[in-house]
Structure 1
Amino acid sequence: MSATEMTLMDEPDRLRVALTPIRRRLLARLREPASAARLAAELGLPRQRVNYHFKALEQAGLIELVEERPRRGFAERIMRATANAFLVDPGVLSPTETGEPSGAEPGGSSGAEPGDGFERIADRYAAEHLVEAAAGTVREVTRMAAAADRRGVRLLTFTLEAEVRFEAPGDVHRFTDELAEAVAQVAARFDTPGGRSYRLLAGGHPTPRQGAEDDR
């Protein structure tokens, strides 16, 4: 069985296991199966050290055993990453009022829900609202894509991107109002009772200016 395309990292303890620089390198390399001995030689590290990191990653479910190859006096374990990409749930990195990482319940279990770790903002023009909505999209789409991948089917999504240059800040508000009205009209035409529900998210933000300090 091949690795899934994406896995959502929404458990703080599991995320901490993967965040060290050496483990990130190992996860990237283990998109293709390899043994600890092979990676130790490639990275110029002691095999015992790589074995230590392999064990931690395996216990966290980030890598898995592919096969065991007989060697003189031992079996060489061939490992690979359980996903081709690991995406961090933004809510995990945002502290809650209790001081716990978002998504962490007492005892370390995950209870992340859309919006956890973000203050709900009603203002459609607030950057926090866009970040919260984008975080929810990352969370939901990654989970559904992984589930579809496990079933051997494709998750049908669509992405629209455009760039527009506004002359004045007021144009942003007028553009948003007209876009919302146009989307509502198209949605009303295609909306079918009993059909598969889709969520459409439209957001806009300034295009980052290369080398500009205030955009970083």
Structure 2
Amino acid sequence: MGAVDVVSAPLAPLRRAVLEGLRDGPASATELAARLGESRQRVNYHVRALERDGLVELFEERARRGCTERVVRATCHAVLVEPSVVGVLPEEQDRFAADTLLAGGARLVRDVAAARTAAAERGQRLLTFAIEAEVGFTRPADLERFADALADRVAELAAELGPGERTYRVLIGGHPA
């Protein structure tokens, strides 16, 4: 998410409850209100706000008791807030800081989403790769030694392969499992 007002939308308790209520599937404001013990009007107000911000979308309209009932669904199951929304990271970053990992992850999500959309518009598939592993460390110094060795090996592999026509950004990060 890239705007402060949109970021704050799902943080309101009732809006968060509405989004959680939509995890099980599409629902109307009336159905959500019954589950949440709130008035239909109050829930509908928050559903409309979430819809305006792109966090829910119209799924279907049903004729019900002479009225049209709107059924909505969540557009996502998780929200990643772009770090630039909540503050800019300093130019020089500690590679062992959680903020540095989060900023890299946010950039990865933003860049891959944009590249996937562009590839789809061209009728192509976006070629990516992902590698996951769990590694154990006894002491913090072991983590630092591992990160240094990994960075050295990635640099060696890049040098072996030489410059190519297609540049890839490689993000390697770790966090406690």
Same fold (TM over 0.5): yes
SS in 1 for 2:33: helix
The question of 1:135 aligning with 2:93 is answered no
Q: Which residue of 2 aligns with 1:82?
A: 75
The question of 1:50 aligning with 2:43 is answered yes
The question of 1:156 aligning with 2:156 is answered no
Give the fraction of aligned pairs with identical amino acids, expressed as a percent.
44
Aligned-pair CA distance for 1:40: 0.9
Aligned-pair CA distance for 1:48: 0.9
Aligned-pair CA distance for 1:192: 4.8
- 102, 124, 137: which is aligned to 1:165? 137
- 147, 161, 168: which is aligned to 1:198? 168
Q: Which residue of 2 aligns with 1:60?
A: 53
Amino acid at match of 2:107: R
- Higher helix content, 1 or 2: 2
Amino acid at match of 2:14: I
Amino acid at match of 2:172: A
The question of 1:188 aligning with 2:159 is answered yes
Classify 1:144/1:28 alpha carbon distance in 2 versus 1 (closer, same or farther; 3 Å). Answer: farther
Q: Which residue of 1 aligns with 2:15?
A: 23
Aligned 8 A contact 1:145 1:155 in 2: no
SS in 1 for 2:106: helix
Aligned 8 A contact 1:69 1:76 in 2: yes
Residues 77-116 of structure 1 aligned to structure 2 (within 5 Å): 77-94=70-87
Flag structure 1 segments of 5+ consecutive residues without an equivalent: 1-8, 95-116, 209-216
What's the RMSD between the two structures over aligned residues?
2.9
Aligned 8 A contact 1:148 1:155 in 2: no
Aligned-pair CA distance for 1:85: 2.2
Amino acid at match of 2:36: L
Question: Following superposition, which runs of at least 4 residues in structure 1 exceed 6 angstroms of deviation?
Answer: none
Aligned-pair CA distance for 1:91: 3.0
Aligned-pair CA distance for 1:168: 6.9
- 1:144-196 per-residue CA deviation (whole Å, 9 max, x = no partner) reads 33763794956733033332324573x5554443322211122233455212x
> Whose relative contact order is higher, 1 or 2, with alpha carbons under 8 Å and at least 6 apart?
1
Flag structure 2 segments of 5+ consecutive residues without an equivalent: none
The question of 1:37 aligning with 2:30 is answered yes
Aligned 8 A contact 2:115 2:126 in 1: no
Classify 1:25/1:149 alpha carbon distance in 2 versus 1 (closer, same or farther; 3 Å). Answer: farther
- 171, 174, 179: which is aligned to 2:150? 179
Amino acid at match of 1:83: C
How many residues in Structure 1 have an aligned counterpart in Structure 2?
Answer: 172
